[in-house]
Chain A
């Protein structure tokens, strides 16, 4: 079983759509959770940290369910500029594991 497993994708959506990404992690000792975005041939960039209480940043909402070891990311009103690969990350200070990523393409 993969340590971090994401929806395989790809997701192709029209502008303005709402899209949800799901992720599960296998290590119950994980304490830190993140969503990163990665544009083609670029470094991953932190999108948001994920907390048990849930957190929102503009059009982006992240949720964590520790009991189910499940992380989600919701993007509302998607823009062309949201097209990227979204990476789910789980781990601790010393090591974090990245999922394979889910590619999103937002079309006009």
Chain B
């Protein structure tokens, strides 16, 4: 079964440092997403990416965040200057879009980001 791959599985970084989280979405999917989940809290939408540009983003996705699809397979989330409150599990997802409808996300296993 096709899967979404995320690396690293766990990243520890110092406050103020830049981090890049990496994802390889399912190859024939058209929409890519980043979600995050702070420990014990709900899954929160960050951003969606379609046709090589941001489709939608949430209030969480401020100027400290950026996404990129540097080649045909990778999809990255960059946090420029990490804060303690950025500590969370970050999930990448991709979806199969047919006739304009989303047929469900496939999530990667996540990157646990710990900012110290």
Please report which residues of chain A, range 35-53, place their CB below 8 angstroms from some CB of chain B when the two chains form the complex: 38, 41-46, 49
Q: Tell me the B58-116 residues at the A interface (CB within 8 Å).
A: 58, 89, 91, 95, 97, 100-110
Contact yes or no, A99 B42, CB < 8 A? yes
The contact of B42 among A91, A95, A101, by CB within 8 Å, is: A101
Chain A residue at smallest Cβ distance from B46 = A95
**Closest chain A CB from B56 CB (angstroms):** 4
Of the candidates B42, B56, B106, the one whose C-beta lies within 8 Å of that of A94 is: B56
User: When the two chains form the complex, which single residue of A32, A99, A101 contacts B102, counting CB atoms closer than 8 Å?
Assistant: A32
Is B55 engaged at the interface, CB distance under 8 Å to the other chain?
yes
Pairwise interchain contact A42-B109, C-beta atoms closer than 8 A:
yes
Residues in B whose Cβ lies below 8 Å from that of A21: none
**Inter-chain contacts of A101 with B (CB < 8 A):** 42
Q: What sequence of 0s and 1s flags, for each residue 61-100 of chain A, a beta carbon within 8 Å of any chain B beta carbon?
A: 0000000000000000000000000010001111111111
| Contacts A/B (CB < 8 Å), 17 sampled | A31-B101, A32-B101, A32-B104, A41-B89, A42-B109, A43-B107, A43-B109, A44-B43, A44-B107, A49-B104, A91-B102, A93-B48, A94-B31, A95-B55, A95-B58, A98-B42, A99-B42
B110 touches A93 (CB 8 A): no
Q: Which residue of A lies closest to B43 (CB)?
A: A98
B-chain residues with CB within 8 Å of residue A31 when the two chains form the complex: 101-102
Q: Which residues of the other chain, A, contact B100 by a CB distance below 8 angstroms?
A: 93
Chain B 35-53 residues near chain A, CB threshold 8 A = 35, 42-45, 48, 50
Q: Residues of B contacting A34 with CB < 8 Å? A: 104-105
**Beta-carbon contact of A93 and B107 below 8 Å:** no
Bound Cα distance from A32 to B101, whole angstroms: 7
Which residues of B are found within 8 Å of A95, using beta-carbon distances? 45, 48, 55-56, 58
